[in-house]
Amino acid sequence: MSKPASWVTVVAIGAVVLMVAALAADQAPAADLDPASTVAGSVEAAALRARGQFLGYNLDRDAALGAFKDAIAADPGHPAAYRLTAATLWIDALFQQGAVTAEDYLGQARSDSHRRPPSAALETVFRDHLDRAIKLAADRCRTSGSADAHFQLGSAYGYQATYAATIEGSLLGTLRAARRAYAEHERVLEMDPTRKGAGLIVGMYQYAVASLPLASRLMARVAGFSGGRERGLRMVEEAAAHPSDVQTNARFTLIVIYNREGRFDDALRVVAQLQQQYPRNRLLWLEAGSTALRAGRPELSRRFLEHGLAMLAHDPRPRAFGEHARWGYYHGATLAALKESDAARRTLDAALRDPARSWVLGRIHTELGKLADLAGDRPRALDEYRAAIPLCDADEDEVCVKEARGLTKRGYR
């Protein structure tokens, strides 16, 4: 079953969980193109945007930015490439924060959590491009009023809301933009029900609002959001099943939702689809391994993680903050679940030496405490659990805090 969510989790649930989900669809069906999209250069720009998206999903962010820059030059009046440039910069900011798997949106996303602020230069370029995308899309809504114009505007506002939630941790900063994104994509569906891509944002918010506590659900509805867990999930699934440029983004969103629902086999099925599409994305193997571990399938988790670790060892591209510790945490926890205690301890000890998010370090200490308990070293186990509690609490990882506190009382068997 899904867990209760904070409002920031509502905004973040469909946000990037694997760094690349930011690159949402930007193309419309041919019959729905605005007249401004048919000028010379638009075909070239569309191809460049598609190439940029493929590169971004494969974690080749610098090359993706280059493709989007060329797309802007080819068709400077189209809002999508500006939005996708902003999205790629957002990915860079998420790398700096170390939000790299669905686990980051299964309890750690909070409005007051400590966040590593992006550089001033990154934030300036992000805002300049997103503001330009919003202006161009709004102009199209006034001149043509087409479904695609409203889709472009809603998508841009969706990024504005998600940036405020995932990078700034701002509650107030998300509300206006999220409400506008939701309303614009609802309008798209009213104008053209066949545009399943617009159902992604609408369905995401409907699902997430339904998981809020009652008082928060009422507030969300007053603010203009409806809630419906089954209907919302169905809309996201339809977007993920429908061939379109939004299909990949919807699949990333489903990984988060299926993990929240405990539907781990379904999550693994979606990850496998994405692994085939984007073979250079090493983080998909980290996601598969962590999902299999949550599902209680450590042998499968080990295969995924060790394949991903081999990719990591030969990948010269930048790492996310704390990425090495994240791999070590999941790998060590998997080895512990397989009763390979010595190997697990070495792996977890090594992971502690790398910088990482506080909740990751806290969970590593919890795993080390379990190993100490199994070895009959209760004093060391207590030290590990007590070290874990403040670290997990600093990132509001309630699951970890509750487990570590319980283990200080009863031990691990």
Concatenated DSSP letters for 174-222?
HHHHHHHHHHHHHHHHHH-TT-TTHHHHHHHHHHHHHTS-HHHHHHHHH
Burial class (CB in 10 A: 0-12, 13-18, 19+), 294: middle
pLDDT score for 107:
55
Is 70 exceeded by the pLDDT of residue 375? yes
pLDDT band at 1 (very low <50, low <70, confident <90, very high): very low
Look at residue 174 in the predicted model and tell me its pLDDT. 78
Highest average pLDDT, of 117-126, 168-177, 239-248, 366-375, comes from 366-375
Helices (H) and strands (E) in the chain, counts: 19, 0
Question: Which pLDDT score is estimated for 22?
Answer: 37
Q: Per residue in 116-162, pLDDT tens?
A: 788 899 999 999 999 999 999 999 999 999 999 999 999 999 989 88
For the chain, which domains are there?
7-281 (1.25.40.10), 287-410 (1.25.40.10)
Given this model, what pLDDT does residue 171 score?
A: 63
Closest CA to 108 of 400, 399, 411, 397: 397
Please give the pLDDT value at position 271.
97
**Per-residue b or e along 24-33, where b marks 16 or more CB atoms closer than 10 Å to that residue's CB:** bbbbbeeebb
Average pLDDT on 105-124 reads: 68
Do residues 65 and 88 make contact, with C-beta atoms less than 8 angstroms apart? yes
> Helix 147-163 and helix 80-97: axis angle, to 10°?
20
pLDDT at res. 222: 72
Handedness of CA 115, 120, 123, 127 (dihedral sign): positive
**Cα atoms found within 13 Å of the Cα of residue 151, Cβ hemisphere only:** 29
Average pLDDT for the chain = 87
The pLDDT of residue 175 is 81
State the pLDDT at residue 35.
44
Query: Taking residues 276-301, what's their average pLDDT?
Result: 97
DSSP states of 92-152 as a string? HHHHHHT--SGGGGTT---TTS---PPPHHHHHHHHHHHHHHHHHHHHHHHHT--HHHHHH
Give the pLDDT confidence score for residue 173 in this predicted structure: 64
* pLDDT at site 25: 38
Buried b (16+ CB within 10 A) or exposed e, 146-175: bbbbbbbbbbbbbbbbbbbbbbbbbbebbb
pLDDT of residue 26: 44
The model's confidence at residue 243, banded by pLDDT at 50, 70 and 90, is: confident
| Mean pLDDT value of segment 213-233 | 81
pLDDT at 246: 78
pTM of the model: 0.87
Whether 17 has a pLDDT exceeding 50, the answer reads no
Taking the C-alpha atoms of residue 355 and residue 359, their distance in angstroms, rounded to an integer, is 12
With a CB cutoff of 8 Å and minimum separation 6, the contacts of 185 are: 150, 151, 154, 155, 158, 198, 199, 200, 201, 202
The whole-number pLDDT of residue 170 equals 66
Per cent of the chain over pLDDT 90 is 69
**Region 277-287: what's the mean pLDDT?**
97
State percent of the chain over pLDDT 70.
87
282: helix, strand or coil: coil
As given in the structure block, the two tokens for residue 387 are 């070290």
For residues 245 and 49, what is the distance between their CA atoms, to the nearest angstrom? Answer: 11
Indicate the pLDDT class of residue 226, thresholds 50, 70 and 90: confident
- Residue 342, both tokens: 């010595």
Q: What is the mean pLDDT of residues 326-347?
A: 98
Highest mean pLDDT among 10-24, 79-93, 168-182 belongs to 79-93
